[in-house]
Structure 1
């Protein structure tokens, strides 16, 4: 009898838990006691740093008007998007969700998000960086609003530059200079490296970024055309292989085995003299670098005048398809992506926000190294590209990456690897 009762109670608790995770909790009450419409907002911001910030923004919004009450539902990274799709399919989604910026068109194509054009006018987009607004468009209509983004910079150790006889105020501007500087910054004890000047696949950057840089800023897919197996991208892969040959596989692996974050980050620890990362990497230098003397610069160009290209990502605020309170949800999104909330988010998170005026206001309010790095990251957005997933080539990256990995492992020649990658992506094309 007791076992049966325990089973029933357990089943009830499990059903309740699943309902809460799938968004069922959000429809238990449509309005607060004082008549405000409840908007359920899903995010993955649950850390000790970010959760208080987003909840302060929500609190400020709730106190700013008397029509809408936003309730924050935290879901872990990864789980949030799986559960979003399940809740849309079940007809019981959240009202607002934070989602990936590069896949907005995919969700619009699959009827998983709401068309927002009915809630905004043409001038609304002027608040945001143009390259970010482009990512939310599908069929000439917006299906999300940009929230934040990122960009990559070259961080370099100024003291190491001085030791190597390099001008600390003149970071490398081209790939050729990058190689030259790296060789001077290397420190060896016999055959063993004590410090590596630079390695292009360490930090927050990958082979695809260098391939894009070599190819005049062209991604793998541009205006519906494939630019995978191009001479410049082949050249970039050969260039990357050259770095590994110079250092040796053993050196690369031994350094990578010791990589960590904070004090264990190889740049902060002084084991690597130049390092590519997103702007927020500065917070690790600030907090754990013990007054490290560093500089930041754009990623070196393939050659002079070819562009200091960087790639970026980010997130958007979106209304899932079938949300029960889209008008009220849009009121919150407008606040969330407005200047006041965006400035607060940026100041507290040191994050690149999508709202232009907010980003510029943050630059004006910061001082010292905080201002130096943030201003550099904002300026770098002019040469930062996003590569939204084309609806005709869904999941194309998973077709390309194994071929690039094979080339970098020395198993395939660049020409063959990229030719096979292009064939595999072509097979994905939707008519």
Structure 2
């Protein structure tokens, strides 16, 4: 698959058209957030993905958004939904053939790869008057590469620990004073184990974004910086490896954590003190009404931090109508449309002014407040390539083949090899 990736990149680079943009052109149509309207015409194609289980209302939302834009700007908007599976290959193949969309959805570990290869339009010339200060800082970090803005964010997530309050009470914890730092969490985890419960989940077979990276950030460490500095085997980062190894050895996490993708059954069955979750988990728990639970603020050792992806819309550099495409991205991500989109999908708006949609939903409102602590993963073109070797080293540690320091050192070596390619 990796060879296919690079072949597609080479093919695409041979067919990219020069990106064109006009300083200051384009606007969201919202005087508080946009600039001058400019002279737009023609048509654009926009690729989105399914963001909720409500496909009917989601389609209606996109169609209404497109229709309003068409009326305001005279640009025909073709909205197309593509599946999540194989989206990278679909996007790359279409762009290489010159038949790709004018706007498409991307996430933080895709954006730097695309931007580094010259595949994305720089949006900065279009952003004057777009009220950029309204975007959360953590969201803007995700759309920036090499000091340029390549996308505008429409959604965020914030992952944090959800606690089963019945278990908290049973083991002598205080539901009103859930753990705030590693020491408090470890103390409660030990009590959970003593009473026959797992403390939490560790999905060692899943993405390291949610499994390993938050512990590293909380310890004050890093994985790989934007400028290519490897930090996964620093003293701080190794503390995260040590904590995970300790949790495994003490059976605070299940013994299948080496390869498990999740531990939903244990959590839902009342056998686990806490599980890392986001807005989707919150919806499920609230709909079922079967568990008394609470969400806690992200933990801290040296830094309060957690994982939370940012979803953005970007414009390919070979768009046939870049001015209209950039304008539509601004329009999609203005405060009004963010309210509409995130009310339906229950993701967190990236504009601070749009977070008022959760004022009557206390738990979602609380979760939205945690985006100030979120990091979107590794922002680097090698972000996806380093995930698998890091995972392999963590698994080797849990299986007893390597010490935490040895696993971290081996992961650092693997990262350096990827970055050096």
Q: TM-score range by the shorter chain?
A: 0.7 to 0.9
Gaps of 5+ in 1: 1-34
**What is the 5 A alignment of 1:378-393?**
378-391=368-381
Question: 2:118 touches 2:317 (CA, 8 Å); kept in 1?
Answer: yes
- Residue 331 of structure 1 aligns with which residue? 327
- Residue 255 of structure 2 aligns with which residue? 252
- Residue 218 of structure 2 aligns with which residue? 213
Question: 2:201 touches 2:262 (CA, 8 Å); kept in 1?
Answer: no
1:197 to 188, 199, 203: 199
Post-superposition offset of 1:164: 2.2
1:150 and 2:181 are equivalent in the alignment? no
Q: Deviations over 1:28-53 (max 9, x none)?
A: xxxxxxx9733211122176425632
Alpha carbons of structure 1 residues 68 and 129: separation in structure 2 relative to 1, 3 Å: same
TM-score normalised according to structure 2 size: 0.80
- Secondary structure at 1:93's aligned position in 2? coil
- The CA distance in 1 between the partners of 2:328 and 2:247, in whole Å, is 49
2:232 to 225, 228, 231: 228
Question: 1:43 touches 1:80 (CA, 8 Å); kept in 2?
Answer: no
- Residue 310 of structure 2 aligns with which residue? 314
**What is the 5 A alignment of 1:251-400?**
252-253=255-256, 265-290=265-290, 292-302=291-301, 306-359=302-355, 361-364=356-359, 366=360, 371-391=361-381, 395-400=385-390
- Residue 127 of structure 1 aligns with which residue? 134
Post-superposition offset of 1:206: 0.7
Structure with the bigger RCO (C-alpha within 8 Å, sep 6+) is 2
- The CA distance in 2 between the partners of 1:126 and 1:76, in whole Å, is 32
Alpha carbons of structure 1 residues 295 and 394: separation in structure 2 relative to 1, 3 Å: closer
Larger Rg: 1
Post-superposition offset of 1:175: 1.6
- Residue 29 of structure 1 aligns with which residue? none
- Residue 171 of structure 1 aligns with which residue? 178
1:423 and 2:418 are equivalent in the alignment? no
TM-score normalised according to structure 1 size: 0.78
Q: Deviations over 1:340-372 (max 9, x none)?
A: 11111221221112122112x2133x2xxxx22
Gaps of 5+ in 2: 1-39
- Residue 247 of structure 2 aligns with which residue? 243
- The CA distance in 2 between the partners of 1:94 and 1:256, in whole Å, is 37
- The CA distance in 2 between the partners of 1:237 and 1:281, in whole Å, is 26
- The CA distance in 2 between the partners of 1:219 and 1:344, in whole Å, is 35
- Residue 27 of structure 1 aligns with which residue? none
Post-superposition offset of 1:103: 2.8
2:64 to 56, 59, 66: 59
Post-superposition offset of 1:221: 2.9
